[in-house]
């Protein structure tokens, strides 16, 4: 199955060909609605999905900005506490408390970004599906599309990359969700190291505990994100028309 938006569907065989079903009627004939009205309805739905996607990413960017702002403010608070009380018990209690708070806040932000990324994937698939409907109204117009008209996972990825070839791994590690995952992993490692240090652990133990906590958070978050995106199953209603006949 090809997800290339520039591949036009194969022409239907002549009527009466053995083993072939007669071609389905165009949407305008099937619904009894004029093509102009259908195009208006599809365009309205398309703009609705675009608006929803814009509001979604505005929300996600706001959540990330709040998280990073609170993280920066926490470092300032720690610096002020260190100046006022030195590196005594109060400083370490404050450091552990702030690190725990940042880890909880970061985990909630990461969860929302992961779910938002899934919603964004479905919005992209929906707009691809609408392009498939445009193609049904005006056969051959998909040759002018930069993005895909197939709503299967391959077609959605083509839309994400605007048709450019890009490894899926590179796309994943450059995502906002992975950025937050790395940030939270470092916070988890610092929290583990702080707890180990306050408990009287040696330098080697502090390093090992901090590293283990950071790696464990990184692996756990990556597996969770993989499960979230593994459940994506947008109906591929128009993907079949991109594939050559058997």
Q: List Cβ neighbours of 194 (8 Å cut-off, separation of 6 or more).
A: 92, 95, 96, 99
Question: CA 91 to CA 84: how far, in whole Å?
Answer: 9
Per-residue pLDDT tens over the stretch 152-184: 888 888 888 887 788 878 888 888 899 999 999
The pLDDT value given to residue 65: 94
Per-residue pLDDT tens over the stretch 55-65: 999 999 999 99
Domain span holding position 158: 32-237
The pLDDT value given to residue 234: 42
Higher pLDDT, 150 or 33: 150
How many other C-beta atoms lie within 10 A of the C-beta of residue 155? 29
pTM over 0.95: no
Question: CA 202 to CA 213: how far, in whole Å?
Answer: 16
6, pLDDT greater than 80 = no
> Does residue 101 sit within a domain?
yes
Question: CA 221 to CA 109: how far, in whole Å?
Answer: 12
**pLDDT band with cut points at 50, 70 and 90 for residue 95:** very high
> Does residue 108 sit within a domain?
yes
> Does residue 49 sit within a domain?
yes
> Does residue 128 sit within a domain?
yes
The pLDDT value given to residue 149: 87
Q: Are the C-beta atoms of 217 and 224 separated by less than 8 Å?
A: no
Per-residue pLDDT tens over the stretch 203-229: 999 999 999 999 999 999 988 887 877
**pLDDT band with cut points at 50, 70 and 90 for residue 24:** very low
Per-residue pLDDT tens over the stretch 63-72: 999 999 999 9
Q: Are the C-beta atoms of 94 and 78 separated by less than 8 Å?
A: yes
Question: CA 20 to CA 160: how far, in whole Å?
Answer: 35
The pLDDT value given to residue 19: 44
The pLDDT value given to residue 1: 41
> Does residue 1 sit within a domain?
no
Range from 14-18, 177-181, 231-235 carrying the lowest mean pLDDT: 14-18
Give the mean pLDDT of 79-89: 86
- Count of the separate structural domains present in the chain: 1
The pLDDT value given to residue 215: 96
The pLDDT value given to residue 31: 56
b/e burial code for range 9-35 (CB count within 10 A of at least 16 → b): beeeeeeeeeeeeeeeeeebeeeeeee
224-230 contacts, C-beta under 8 A, 24 or more apart: 224/114, 225/114, 225/177, 225/181, 228/114, 228/115, 228/118, 229/117, 229/118, 229/121
The pLDDT value given to residue 47: 93
Q: List Cβ neighbours of 138 (8 Å cut-off, separation of 6 or more).
A: none
The pLDDT value given to residue 21: 44
């Amino acid at each position: 199955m090809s997800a290339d938006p520039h591949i036009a569907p194969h022409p239907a065989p002549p009527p009466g060909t053995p083993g072939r079903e007669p071609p389905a009627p165009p949407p305008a004939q099937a619904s009894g609605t004029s093509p102009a009205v259908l195009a208006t309805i599809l365009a309205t739905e398309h703009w609705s999905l675009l608006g929803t996607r814009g509001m979604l990413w505005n929300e996600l960017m706001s959540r990330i900005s709040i998280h990073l702002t609170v993280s920066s403010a926490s470092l300032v608070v720690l610096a002020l506490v260190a100046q006022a009380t030195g590196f005594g018990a109060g400083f370490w209690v404050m450091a552990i408390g702030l690190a725990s708070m940042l880890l909880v806040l970061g985990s909630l932000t990461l969860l929302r970004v992961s779910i938002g990324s899934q919603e964004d994937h479905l919005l992209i698939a929906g707009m691809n599906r609408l392009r498939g409907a445009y193609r049904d109204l005006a056969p051959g117009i998909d040759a002018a599309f930069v993005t895909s008209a197939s709503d299967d996972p391959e077609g959605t990825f083509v839309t994400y990359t605007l048709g450019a070839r890009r490894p899926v791994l590179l796309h994943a590690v450059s995502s906002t969700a992975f950025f937050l995952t790395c940030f939270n992993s470092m916070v988890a490692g610092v929290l583990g190291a702080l707890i180990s240090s306050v408990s009287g652990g040696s330098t080697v133990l502090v390093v090992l505990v901090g590293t283990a906590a950071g790696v464990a958070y990184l692996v756990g978050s990556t597996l969770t994100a993989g499960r979230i995106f593994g459940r994506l199953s947008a109906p591929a209603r128009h993907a079949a028309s991109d594939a050559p006949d058997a």
